[in-house]
Each structure stands twice: as C-alpha cells, then as structure tokens.
C-alpha cells in the first residue's frame, strides 16, 4: 500500500495494487473519503477489500478535499465576512448528540474504535437508564463520561462563544469541525433539531440555533433564505432523490438515522436498493463478524452479485 499527493490540488490518495494484474487488468475500485481524515486501514480491511481480491481490482482511496492532510488552500478561510441562552442550547445539543452517536453506529465494526468501545450499543445505553438503578440525571452523567472516554476528550465544552471562536479559526488543524460546518451551512443543512417543547430534548436547539452559528462563524450573509437556496442548488445539481444514473446500488440500514435522506426504494433497474433491517450506518462496508445479522450478511453477498454482473457486461 502506498499513499501520495496529487500535485495540482494537494489531495492525498492511497493505492493498494496487491490484487491487480496489469496483464489481465481488472476493475478500479475508488473509495471517496468522507468528512474526516482518510484512514489507511481501509486499504487493507473492509468488505471492499474482499471484493477487490475476488475481482482483481486496483483499490484507490481519495481523501476528501479540505479534510485530513488534503489542503488545496493554505487555510480554511473563505469570503463571508456564566451560561448564556446559547450556552444552554449548545449543552442540550451536545447531550442529544451523545445518543445520536451511539445510534448511528450501533453494532458497527468500526476501524477507528478501541476494542473496549466496539461493543457499546443502543442496548448499552438502554441498560444505563433501565437496569442500573440510577436516577435519569445520573444515567446521563454516566453516558456523557462514556462518550468522553470514547473520544479521548477531557470534557464537553458547552460555551457558545468558545464553539464559535474555535470554528472561526482558519488554520488547518486536525479538528475538522470548520470544514463540515461550512458544508452544512452552504450545501447540505443536515441539522438535527429539537423544536417541540414536549419532545425529549425540548425546544432548546431549533433550526434558528444553527442558522445563528453559520452567521456568527461565516458572516451574516448566510441567513436562512440563502442557506435554503444553496441546499436547493445541491439537490438540483446532483439529483437529490430523483437522481438518474446507472450501476449504483444504494445501501441503507434501518437504525441509521441518515437512511431517511437516502434512496430506499428502487426506481430504475440499474439503480437497485438494499434496505437492511436492524443495521446502522455503513454497516455493510466493515469487516464481517460472527455476530452480523442474516440481512447484513446477505446484503454483502447481494452487492458482490451486482458487481459481478456489472463488471462482466
């Protein structure tokens, strides 16, 4: 396995050619990185490596621009010029994210977790609140402590001004919060809000909180109207839920909160979908385990079948 930099725009990429035979050239598998630093373990682990071995594929992983060590610009700057109420909102949002993190990756064999945390699941959290005999507040404290240890952090900083100050920092750092926040403000939205007084987390972090964050970080030009128009552009440009393409399989798990934003029903024969009950975020991409459900195991086989059919047409 090797890793290199594209000289034109400083994007890092990784290559695994151990299965590739140049005399009998197979396909090229490309993994496009997400909103984090590229993890080299993907070049030797994961389901796609099993597929690559079978189909004698060349494996390439491209680190997402502006994340990790792929810096096309010298900084993350851009052209947009006691507990406060905002502190309380950030605190409640942080507590909610503790639950969201566990749910999103429930029972997923993630490569970047220490072994002691790989079995932290929804059931773990449920047991904290139902079987330990603690008051709800005490259970929340224990869950918070667990999340802090999983993230190798010291505490949760709920100060709104600190959050904004950190995200205004345009220096390229390991912390990738500014890049992702900018994309949510100008391309995606994707905000997990709570705006109903009678909901679990009350009305402490409605959409207004995230619009305010975007304006305080990147400039007042980013009002809700502009943000909605940019999100509309993203969906129009890339097709949204009405994308028309060929040879794409859309894979989702029922526990993954993000599945509601994805394509879960096939509209075209060349755009099949696989919906796995009881699985979480990207579960099919990780290495198989004996504990995997029947649906997850069958999904990996089904994806391999699609690849086999498409590559031999």
Mean pLDDT of the chain: 87
Whether residue 5 has pLDDT greater than 70 = no
- Residue 8 has a pLDDT of 56
Confidence class for position 163, pLDDT limits 50, 70, 90: very high
> Could you tell me where the DSSP H helices lie in 9-159?
47-55, 85-104, 122-130, 136-150
Please state whether beta strands 12-16 and 58-62 pair in parallel, antiparallel, or not at all (unpaired).
antiparallel
Mean pLDDT for 119-136 is 86
pLDDT at 79: 46
E strands present in 33-79: 58-62
Mean pLDDT of 160-169: 93
pLDDT tier, 66 (very low <50, low <70, confident <90, very high otherwise): confident
Q: What percent of the chain has pLDDT over 90?
A: 50
What pLDDT is attached to residue 211? 97
Sign of the CA dihedral with 152 first, then 155, 158, and 160 last = negative
pLDDT tens figures, 206-227:
999 999 999 999 999 999 999 9
pLDDT for res 75: 66
CB-based contact 20:159 (threshold 8 Å): no
Q: Which residues of 14-37 are buried (b: 16+ CB within 10 A; e: fewer)?
A: bebeebbeeeeebeebebebeeeb
The reported pLDDT for the residue numbered 81 is 38
Residue 76: per-residue pLDDT: 59
Q: What is the pLDDT of residues 86-118, one digit of tens each?
A: 988 998 899 898 888 888 888 876 666 677 777
pLDDT given at position 289? 85
């Amino acid at each position: 396995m090797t890793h290199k930099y594209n000289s034109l725009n400083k994007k890092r990429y990784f290559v695994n050619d151990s299965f590739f035979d140049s005399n009998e050239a197979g396909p090229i598998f490309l993994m496009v990185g997400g909103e984090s630093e590229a993890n080299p373990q993907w070049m030797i682990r994961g389901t796609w490596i099993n597929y690559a071995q079978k189909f004698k594929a060349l494996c390439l992983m491209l680190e997402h621009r502006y994340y990790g060590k792929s810096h096309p610009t010298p900084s993350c700057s851009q052209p947009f010029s006691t507990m406060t109420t905002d502190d309380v909102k950030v605190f409640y949002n942080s507590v909610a994210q503790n639950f969201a993190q566990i749910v999103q990756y429930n029972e997923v064999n993630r490569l970047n977790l220490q072994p002691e945390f790989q079995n932290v699941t929804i059931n773990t959290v449920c047991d904290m609140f139902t079987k330990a005999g603690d008051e709800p507040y005490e259970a929340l404290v224990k869950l918070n402590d667990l999340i802090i240890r999983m993230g190798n952090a010291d505490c949760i900083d709920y100060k709104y001004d600190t959050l904004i100050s950190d995200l205004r920092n345009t220096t390229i750092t390991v912390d990738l919060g500014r890049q992702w926040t900018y994309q949510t403000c100008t391309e995606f939205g994707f905000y997990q809000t709570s705006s109903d007084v009678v909901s679990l987390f009350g009305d402490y972090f409605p959409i207004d909180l995230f619009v305010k964050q975007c304006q305080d970080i990147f400039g007042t030009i980013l009002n809700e109207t502009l943000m909605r128009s940019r999100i509309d552009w993203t969906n129009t440009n890339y097709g949204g839920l009405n994308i028309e393409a060929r040879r794409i399989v859309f894979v989702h798990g029922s526990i993954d909160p993000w599945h509601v934003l994805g394509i879960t029903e096939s509209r075209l024969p060349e755009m099949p979908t696989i919906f796995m009950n009881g699985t979480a975020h990207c579960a099919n991409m990780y290495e198989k385990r004996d504990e995997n459900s029947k649906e997850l195991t069958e999904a990996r086989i089904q994806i391999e079948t699609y690849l086999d059919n498409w590559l031999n047409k």
